[in-house]
Amino acid sequence: MELHEYLTYDATSLAAKVADGEVSAAELLALAQQRADQVNPKLNAIVRRMDAVAERRVNEPLTGPFAGVPFLIKDLLQEFGGLPTSHGTAAMRNATATEHSAVVQKFLDAGVVIFGKTNTPELGSKGITEPALWGPCRNPWDLDRTPGGSSGGSASAVAAGIVPAAGANDGGGSIRIPAACCGLVGLKTSRGLTPFGPVEGDPLLGWVTQGVVSRTVRDTAGFLDAIVGPNKYEGAQIVQPAMSFSAAIQTPPTGLRIGYSTKSAINPSPDPDAIEAVEETAKLLTDLGHHVEEVEPPYDDAQLSRDFLTIWFAQLYGQVTRIKELFGAKDSDFEPDTLAVAELGRANGIGPVFMAMERIHEFTKSLVDYQDSYDLLLTPTLAKVPLMVGETDTPTALQVGSRVVAKARAGKLLALSGIADDLVEQALGWVPYTQLANMTGRPAISVPLHWTPAGVPLGVQFVGRLGEDTGLLALAAQLEEAAPWAGRYPAPV
């Protein structure tokens, strides 16, 4: 197989060719490494190569639905035993994992050949991927733009053809945002469906789910079939899907009731391309026989955004404190933005956090009541085209100030300054639609149905009912057949 052929196949096709003896796992690994060598110096998608590990693995018997397929895992919450998982921070650069995380073991059981770890922002705390530790990751559709975050490295690598799918996870949009930025499929599953453990429990109140970013719906379905299942480390066991994801996508849905909205209180002026993406999708859905109409947002997104960040700030303070205790890290090991946000979390105290947690039920009830009348909610995934790399950099003077404030434990002064409202607009203004699914535990998927005139992808998002993940994938497969995207590649990087 030549490299130009490798680039045209998804993971499902590559696994079939390995099974039929048309190509070996070693040959596929060599092609993936060749492609990485070509494009990664410009993209900075892979931050840790695992070539020696991979080259040993391809000489072992491999079984599973994706036996022999090259694969990358995210350098956050996807630990590989014996190697460091940095979580994008210098404080953990050399923190070696004692064992594989549950999801990585599931990936390995599926037969993939892992040969690297992908770039992620510090502690996964931003919707862009520009950590001080590894440097910025770039979008292969436009090298001046972000691939999103926090699974930006994985999305960049898949969009550039290094691998057909890569490990990702999502705590506030971190699968869907980079999928939208890079023209890929990204599903955040229902809460509790994908595995955590044995070292890490369910992060962030169970908001975070594991998964992949991929070029095709069938690859996402196949990888979810590989990783979803009973997990002994879960605090509670969710009901498993009635059928496999791969089986579910074989039957197109009919007559769905879908409400769509592009409105956002924290970004009242989404980009025209974001609006166009949703309106075009609404027309396509209507042509496919679904009932589609515009609706008002079924929840208070301004309050949800404030509550999301209140809880996020608190958990980030907990993370920083824990890392200091476990690894002896100092403030100088963290980025100034991380320190400032963690200090805000500390200074807020427990009261606002509990009030925010209590209001989650209000958002959940609002969404459930909406879904008594509609099967799905359709929104843009992004309110703006992917940001330029460096667009949200904190000025040097403010970085110094952030370190001073953190050291002085002056978070109350920060709170009084109104910075929290500024952070809502800065952090979530371009991605105000994705946090709802995490906070309510509902499944949501981003599918790549729109490209701007400049050739930059934008996704649209569907939010489904709890436990109806297979239905989201079935709809995505129907849309993929009606408006194929898998054959679209960025210009040579």
Q: Which of 17, 74, 117, 188 is catalytic?
A: 74
Q: Which residues of 437-450 are buried (b: 16+ CB within 10 A; e: fewer)?
A: bbbbbbbbbbbbbb
Residues 406 and 339: beta-carbon distance below 8 Å: yes
261 is annotated as an active-site residue: no
Phi–psi pair at 11, nearest 5 degrees: -65, -35
Contact 243, 470 (CB under 8 A): yes
Peptide bond into 190 cis (omega under 30): no
> Do the Cβ atoms of 318 and 338 come closer than 8 Å?
no
- Catalytic status, residue 74: yes
Amino acid at 193: L
Q: Is residue 425 a contact partner of residue 451, using CB atoms and an 8 Å limit?
A: no
CA distance 117 to 94: 14
| Residue 362: closest CA among 440, 419, 283, 465 | 440
Which of 101, 150, 151, 264 is catalytic? The answer is 150
Catalytic residue among 151, 154, 156, 174: 174
Nearest-angstrom CA–CA distance, 41 and 162: 12
Closest among 285, 185, 282 to 486, alpha carbons compared: 185
- The structure tokens listed for 117 are 């770890």
Q: Which amino acid is at 345?
A: G
**CA distances (Å), origin 185, targets 165, 203, 215, 277:** 10, 23, 6, 15
Catalytic residue at 305? Answer: no
Q: C-alpha dihedral over 427, 159, 44, 83, to 10 degrees? A: 90
Please report where in the chains the tokens 């109409």 appear, as a residue: 293
- Taking residue 332's Cβ as centre, other Cβ atoms within 10 Å add up to 9
Residue written as token pair 């595995």: 195
- CA pair distance 388, 142, nearest whole angstrom: 9
How long is the chain?
Answer: 493
Gap between the terminal Cα atoms of the chain: 21
Tokens at 172, concatenated: 């506030």
Distance CA 257, CA 355 (A): 33
- Bridge partners for 195 per DSSP: none
35 contacts 43 by C-beta, under 8 angstroms: no
Residues noted as catalytic: 74, 150, 174
